[in-house]
Amino acid sequence: MELATFGAGCFWCVEAVFQDLQGVQKVVSGYSNGRIANPTYREVCSGLTGHAEVIQITYDPQVISFKELLEVFWKTHDPTTLNRQGNDTGTQYRSGVYYHNDEQRRLAEEYKQKLNEAHAFDNPVVTEIEPLKSFYPAEDYHQNYYKQNGHEPYCQFVARPKVEKVRALFGDKLKKATA
């Protein structure tokens, strides 16, 4: 098993996007690359800790590659908005790939460069690509949020469209029970 860590806005949405992919064993919502140890949700939301809301994926590279995870990452959020995803604004919502090794760094930088060279988006990709310096799991009530609270308005209007996009674009990569 290997790890991948991505920031793409509110971790509730990002977690829901990756949970049902074949080869993904676990997705944990959390905080990374900030200035203090073991931050709380309230501290991260203040914008003063420097942490990003992220998800950390435990995956089987024999079933799904890091490159495939990157493809899902780039296609399910707007990597051109600095410190923002939709109505969620603040540095904690920044787009980021927090790599665990040089191969992940290389693949993320190559993909970002190709997107920019192809003008895949109206604006340049601003996703930060940095080494993972720290990861702290979020509080328990943030874990598996969409699956436990899918009826809530935020989940219906923000997370659900992203989950449906993954089902439409990557249906062949979904676990059989969710396809």
Catalytic status, residue 155: no
Gap between the Cα atoms of 12 and 42, Å rounded: 15
Contact, 131 vs 99, CB < 8 A?
Answer: yes
Distances, alpha carbon 142 to alpha carbons 16, 74, 87, 137, 138, in Å: 11, 23, 19, 9, 6
- CA geometry: angle 47, 50, 51, nearest 5 deg: 95
Catalytic residue among 10, 13, 45, 155: 10
List the one residue out of 158, 91, 84 whose CA is nearest residue 123.
Answer: 84
List the one residue out of 164, 166, 175 whose CA is nearest residue 22.
Answer: 175
Catalytic residues: 10
